[in-house]
Structure 1
Amino acid sequence: MRASFITNEVATGLRRNVSMTIAMILTTAISLALFGGGLLVVRMVDKSQDIFLQRVEVQVFLDDKLSASDPDCLQSECTSLRDSIKAMSGVDRVDYISKADAYHDAVTKTFANQPELASLVRQGALPASFKVRIGDQSRFSAVIDSIKGKPGVASVLDQRDLVNRVFSVLGGARDAAFAVALIQAVAAILLIANTVQVAAYTRRTEVTIMRLVGATRWYTQLPFLLEAVVAALVGAVLAIVGLIAAKGLFFDRALKELYGVNILAKITSADVLLVAPWLIVVGAVFAAVTGYVTLRYYVRE
């Protein structure tokens, strides 16, 4: 009987304030969708960073003297340098690139689509180098510092600065999404609080009679709290649907080329499903806490 009464009260409240209920659902849906979008961006950034760090190599350029005297890295000075780098903690692989190989790569790969620049490259102009693959990313700085001081090394090219700039842009997008979500969350809090107050005011006579015949405060206020939670859950479902649509219509299409060359990690359906439960939980808790605080401090009848 009590469960049936509470269910009827919740349904009545949602119908009675239908315009405010719809507004609350939409505001909550937008807030949760932005929050979920921020979580998806975080997932994309984390996975993309792993991709980048797995491909980042440290290129060690040899000085002109060593490059010219030992073009194939067969003499002791060059082989000792290579072996010492390979023996460093965290280093997985060391590949030698001769001056001839460097020229060939520049013409056929680096400037393959820019023949005017490729024509400016001269044989022997590029130094020989080692490409060093570091498996333990925490060892980057230590390995680079150790290599810089070795004889025969002219310079060291570290790609981490480029990676950091890329991820600072993605991090900015993530922060912007969360900032907008925070603004929407404030709007949702105010709207939920206002909806609960209006619902309680319109049924103040019923609540007063129920309190006079012995109904507890929780029993009379629970329908208002459940109204907010139900609206938030509907908003959460809409937010999840919106994220699924955004994945297909925006992420997959707008980032198709970046996905294709493996620059950014693809946002998958599994990522959306991973985020979805958080939206439901956050939406329900968000509405319940807001409704409880409103009833506790503003609706005392």
Structure 2
Amino acid sequence: MRAHFLLSEVLNGLRRNVTMTIAMILTTAITLGMFGGGLLVIQMADKSQKIFLDRVEMQFFINDAVSEADPNCREAPCSVLRTDIENEPGVGSVTFIDRKEAFEQAKQTFKDNPDIADNIREGTIPASLKVRMSDPEQFGAVLDKYSDRKDLGVDGVLDQRQLVQRIFSVLDGTRNAAFAIAIVLAVAAILLIVNTVQIAAFTRRTEVSIMRLVGATRWFTQLPFLLESVVAALIGAFLAIGGLFTAKVLFFDNALRDLYGVNILARIGVSDVLFVSPWLIIGAILLSGVTAYVTLRVYVRE
């Protein structure tokens, strides 16, 4: 009987304040959607980092004098450099790329950009040692140790960590922006819930007074208002979850298709959205439930 009464009170309350209820649902949905988007970006960054750590390389370029005297890196100082790097902790493999192979790789890299490819001449691309790490944690130590070894023929170095850092700085900025917007919207949602609860309590003050006179507890009379807020927030949460699935298809799958194809960014899948979804539902319950409860305790005395 009490459950039926509470259900009817909640439904009646949502209908009476339909415009504010809709506003609260939409505000909550956008807030949770931005928060969920930030969580998806974090998941993408974490998985992308693993991709880069598995394949990140450094490349030591050999100066022209050493390359001309020893084109196959079989003599000192090139062979000494190669052996020393191979013996470093955390190094997985060291591959020597001679000038001819470097030229062919450069032509292949810029085959879709003929203006650049036509200007690449054989012999202008230096030979190099390409180093892949088995332990990414040792990357910086090896790079710092050999980047200035001009005595061993090192003429320059390519550090792919710079590219990785730029990509992750963009992801971090996107995540932070999503969280910042979510915080602002959360404040707006809290204020909207406070106003909605106060108005609902004021419009039904006569009914509440009668219920208290016939012995209803304060908690029982205030529970419908709290449930109204939670129900509206849960509707907003499910809208937010639907929005994330839509964003996955329209943004993550379409806009980032090229980056997925070259394995630069990790793909966001349905499982990632499903992993985030329960947190949005929990967030909706906490946001609305706590706000409504505090509002009732502070502003509604009867």
TM-score by length of 2: 0.93
Residue 45 of structure 1, CA deviation? 2.1
State yes or no: 1:187 paired with 2:188.
yes
Correspondence list, 1:97-116, <5 A? 97-107=97-107, 109-116=108-115
State yes or no: 1:291 paired with 2:292.
yes
Structure 1 vs Structure 2: percent identity of aligned residues? 61
The 2-side partners of 1:25 and 1:252 are apart by 27
Which residue matches 1:154? 155
Which residue matches 2:279? 278
Which residue matches 1:238? 239
Which residue matches 2:133? 134
Residue 265 of structure 1, CA deviation? 1.6
State yes or no: 1:117 paired with 2:133.
no
Deviations 1:15-44 (A, max 9, x none): 221221111111111111111111112212
Residue 76 of structure 1, CA deviation? 4.8
Distance 1:12 1:116, change over 3 A: closer
Deviations 1:235-292 (A, max 9, x none): 1111111111121122212222222222222111111101110100001111001101
Number of aligned positions between the proteins: 300
One-letter code aligned to 2:145: S
- Compare 181-190 and 112-121 and name the one that shifted more: 112-121
The 1-side partners of 2:124 and 2:276 are apart by 52
One-letter code aligned to 2:72: D
Deviations 1:87-136 (A, max 9, x none): 211211111101111112122x2222233433333322222111011232
One-letter code aligned to 2:239: L
The 2-side partners of 1:148 and 1:28 are apart by 52
What is the aligned-residue RMSD (CA, Å)? 1.7
The 2-side partners of 1:247 and 1:126 are apart by 42
Which residue matches 1:49? 49
One-letter code aligned to 1:134: M
The 2-side partners of 1:285 and 1:116 are apart by 58
SS at match of 1:61: strand
One-letter code aligned to 1:222: L
Which 4+ stretches in 1 moved above 6 angstroms?
A: none
Deviations 1:190-210 (A, max 9, x none): 111111111111111121222
One-letter code aligned to 1:199: A
The 2-side partners of 1:179 and 1:117 are apart by 42
Residue 296 of structure 1, CA deviation? 1.1
Deviations 1:211-231 (A, max 9, x none): 233322211111111110111
The 2-side partners of 1:292 and 1:262 are apart by 48
The 2-side partners of 1:113 and 1:246 are apart by 31
One-letter code aligned to 1:10: V
Residue 149 of structure 1, CA deviation? 4.6
Which residue matches 1:254? 255
Which residue matches 1:207? 208
- Compare 253-262 and 269-278 and name the one that shifted more: 253-262
State yes or no: 1:167 paired with 2:190.
no
One-letter code aligned to 2:216: A
Could you tell me which runs of 5 or more consecutive residues in structure 2 were left unpaired when the two chains were aligned: none
SS at match of 2:121: coil
The 2-side partners of 1:12 and 1:125 are apart by 79
State yes or no: 1:35 paired with 2:35.
yes
- Compare 154-163 and 24-33 and name the one that shifted more: 154-163
SS at match of 1:262: coil
Which residue matches 1:79? 79
SS at match of 1:37: helix
The 2-side partners of 1:27 and 1:296 are apart by 24
The 2-side partners of 1:72 and 1:147 are apart by 20
State yes or no: 1:90 paired with 2:90.
yes
Distance 1:204 1:116, change over 3 A: closer
The 1-side partners of 2:28 and 2:194 are apart by 13
SS at match of 1:46: helix
- Compare 173-182 and 290-299 and name the one that shifted more: 173-182
